Amino acid sequence: MASLQEQIQQFEQEINSFVPANIAELEDYRIRFLGAKGIVKQLFGEMKSVPAEERKEAGQVLNGFKMLAESKYESFKSLQETTAAKGPAIDNTLPGTPMPIGTRHPLRVVENKIISIFERIGFSVATGPEIEDDWHNFTSLNMPEHHPARDMQDTFYVSSDPAWVLRTHTSSAQARILESQPLPIRVICPGRVYRNETISARAHCFFHQCEGLYVDKNVSFADLKQTLYYFVTEMFGEGTQVRFRPSYFPFTEPSAEMDISCTVCGGSGCNLCKHTGWVEILGCGMVHPNMLRNFGIDPEVYTGFAFGMGVERITQVKYQVNDLRLYSQNDVRFLRQFQSI
């Protein structure tokens, strides 16, 4: 007959590789190893025949074996109990619960599109602070104190120090570029701007702009027109018509407003174009010589063009959003509609 040690080794191997397929097999295991007539009991019975001097060591080995047999049983038993408490076993082949994926905000989608269109022709992106000083928002842009053009934009002043304003346009970021970057300059400045307007479907106290600036030798109005024509074609599609109307901005001369043929009716007249066939999308012009001088640039050597558009306006024209308030109400039914664009 195999020695006690050998028997234990063999049983240990059996226990280590034991995995019950079901609760009945686990019960068989319990009876076989731990039952009243089980192997553990039997082996303890055999201790009598172990010579006295080896008994202590054999007892330790046997106790270890008993613990192994019991812990194996306990671990499967508790596993079985927790699975039973959880209900039926998990079917790992079932598809998972889908996680709702967020969507980009429509204004961000359009802003990204504007940026990528201009990046393709060499414009880089510049940003600036939303709280601005008077110099960058007004004075340096050819709007000295008491200039009537300051009233074109209803400004929020910082109450503790009215020398600071919430920027009314991102032209202020362009002023910062002109003051810090070497020429030539070719940037677009996207960002949030603030104006003291009563909130309605057509006005809001904040909105988003993307303004562009190009200053170099020999920049002409023809360059401005061609750049904006390229933008319109990329943004609204081939065949979109453009027209320029003379306008006034203190920082550009000459100045213009640009209209595009209505994207909804194609020109025959609808609500978006107020039955004119045209929708205004941006202001633009050649950078005013005074503004260049303010930044130490000689207007006899350098010329430039600038333009500024509202991101909300472009989004409205492109996707027929007719209430500005929708952009900041965080209604997912509105926001989800832009999932695929």
> Under the rule (CB under 6 A), what is the footprint of ligand PHE?
169, 171, 211, 249, 252, 283-285, 306-308
- In the complex with ligand PHE, the residue whose CB is nearer, 106 or 250, is 250
Q: Give me the DSSP letters along 8-36.
A: HHHHHHHHHT---SSHHHHHHHIIIIIST
Q: Compute the distance between CA of residue 146 and CA of residue 162 in angstroms, rounded to an integer.
A: 14
Nearest 10 degrees: Cα torsion 49, 54, 55, 59: -120
Amino acid at 53: E
Considering beta carbons, is residue 20 or 250 the nearer one to ligand PHE? 250
Residue 73 vs 227, nearer CB to ligand PHE: 227
DSSP assignments along 83-137, one per residue: HHHH-SPP-TTSPPPPPPPP---HHHHHHHHHHHHHHTTT-EE----SEEEHHHH
Question: Which CB, 190 or 308, lies closer to ligand PHE?
Answer: 308
| Complex with ligand PHE: residue 72 or 167, whichever CB lies closer | 167
How far apart CA 210 and CA 116 sit, in angstroms, is 12
In angstroms, the CA 289 to CA 293 distance is 6
The answer to whether 204 and 156 are in contact (CB under 8 A) is: no
**Intra-chain end-to-end CA distance of the chain, in Å:** 81
Rounded CA-CA distance 125/115 in Å is 7
- Of the two residues 62 and 256, which places its CB atom closer to ligand PHE in the complex? 256
Q: Considering the complex, state which of residue 248 and residue 334 has its C-beta at the smaller distance from ligand PHE.
A: 248
CA–CA gap between residue 38 and residue 15 (Å, rounded): 14
Give the containing element (helix H, strand E) for 286: strand 278-287
Beta-carbon contacts of 28 under 8 Å, excluding residues fewer than 6 positions away, are: none
